[in-house]
Structure 1
Amino acid sequence: MTDITRHHTATRMSQIVELGDTIYLAGQVGTAGAPVAQQTQDCLDKIDALLAEVGSDKTRILQTTIWLADMKDFAAMNAVWDAWVPEGHAPARACGEARLATPEYLVEFIVVAAR
């Protein structure tokens, strides 16, 4: 049986869960109330830091799910995303519209990566 390791664990969730060489990140949000481009960059910076903590990086992302509070922000979010994803390393991805935890959050990223 493969061990499960959790990092930054609280009552409700862990920021990182490792199962073998697969890494699952909790949903990442940016600075509440900031424009979607800044929130997107904040999320991607957090993803970089969390993946580095467990020996991975953005070239190893397998799948990303992105929730936007409003699809009108799709192009602005994608402009930041496209500049961040290394050429040739785009993960499987889905993006949809959803009501997030508070109205001040405009985007949330959920990532699965390999070590």
Structure 2
Amino acid sequence: MGDLGMGMDKVGMVMAMVVIVVAAMAIVGRCDPSESNRDMVRRAPWRIHTLFSVECQDYFDWQTVGLMHSFRKSGQPGPITRLLSCTDEEMKAYRGMDLAPTFRVPSMSRHPKTGD
């Protein structure tokens, strides 16, 4: 039986590389086809906390909905937090608190001393 134009050393080298790649994939848990992407993300050796800032306006709510959808589909490891900047008056009427995990930050739309 011929060696199909490859020397035995080349075949051995290719096989060794395949074994190394498969072993590396097994170590990081990516060879199990039954494992979901979400499970792999939970075990990720690194995490990124994603932050994004918005104001109390309908436009930013639509942006939040789109971003949260993309974030969930991407499987990005780590949490996501929305930084919500609203005045006290705006906050009373705001209805979008359930759109994303949210941390309220002071509104900088008006100067605290001059009101500008």
Q: Give 1 or 2: higher helix fraction.
A: 2
Q: Give 1 or 2: higher strand fraction.
A: 1
TM-score range, shorter chain: 0.3 to 0.5
TM-score using structure 2 length: 0.37
Q: Which has the larger radius of gyration?
A: 2
